[in-house]
Amino acid sequence: MRTLLVATTNLHKLDEYRAIFADLPFQLLSLNDIQLDLDVEETGTTFEENARLKALAYASASGLLTLADDSGLEIDALGGEPGVYSARFAGVDTPYPERFRLIFARMQGLALEQRSARFQCVIALAEPDGLLRIASGTIEGLITEAPRGVHGFGYDPIFLVPELGKTNAELAPEQKNQISHRAHAAQQARLLLAHWPQA
């Protein structure tokens, strides 16, 4: 069984990947698990650029096959914001309820059909020798007028999946893991890992 480093300290994200890759012959470890204290600056202007930067840097530093992703929320009425700055929107330490309030204030008065948005996720898989593969996923939705639900994390409580009539945060984790942007990208990554060259 190979080790796959998931370049995150976010336990929610690690749990999602562990569930999606459960039947593959990889042991998933986080940055905390290997005590790698490296902060890779996300200088890219796209999700793919940032995912590539992180995967290659952490693979090189750890000597391990590494998965890094970059994902975020793009809101059409806000010109695609917060986009690649989703995790830093309104400041890194700003709590999500405050971020929601800022988004709602900027979208005040917009009808539901004007509140289109999508979650994007790009996954980069990198070997220490520089071998790199990319997977990506998207889910379309709408921004609610108030947070709903207790599951998930990040922007999940304000992202409505129209065909289900629920926000990501109202979906059971198993259900979200089947339809989310990360799930779509991870399913592509699963196929890549299933045929990955063995060490």
pLDDT tens readout for residues 128-147? 999 999 999 999 999 999 99
CA atoms of 8 and 131, how far apart (whole Å) = 20
Indicate the annotated binding residues for substrate.
8-13, 71, 153-156, 176, 181-182
CA atoms of 28 and 15, how far apart (whole Å) = 9
Please give the residue that has the higher pLDDT: either 162 or 19: 162
Over range 96-103, report the average pLDDT: 97
Per the listing, tokens 């998207």 go with 138
Identity at 27, one-letter amino acid code: Q
pLDDT tens readout for residues 38-84? 999 899 999 999 999 999 999 999 999 999 999 999 999 999 999 99
31 pLDDT higher than 90:
yes
- 73 closest CA partner among 144, 163, 151: 144
Identity at 19, one-letter amino acid code: A
199 pLDDT higher than 60:
no
What is the SS3 assignment for 112? helix
User: What's the predicted TM-score (pTM) here?
Assistant: 0.89
Choosing from 37, 70, 76, 129, the catalytic residue is: 70
Alpha carbon 149 to its chain centroid, in Å, reads 19
198 pLDDT higher than 90:
no
Domains plus CATH for the chain? Answer: 2-194 (3.90.950.10)
CA atoms of 151 and 110, how far apart (whole Å) = 26
Indicate the annotated binding residues.
8-13, 41, 70-71, 153-156, 176, 181-182
Indicate the annotated binding residues for Mg(2+).
41, 70
- 189 closest CA partner among 83, 51, 62, 63: 51
Residue 15 annotated to the active site? no
CA atoms of 135 and 124, how far apart (whole Å) = 7
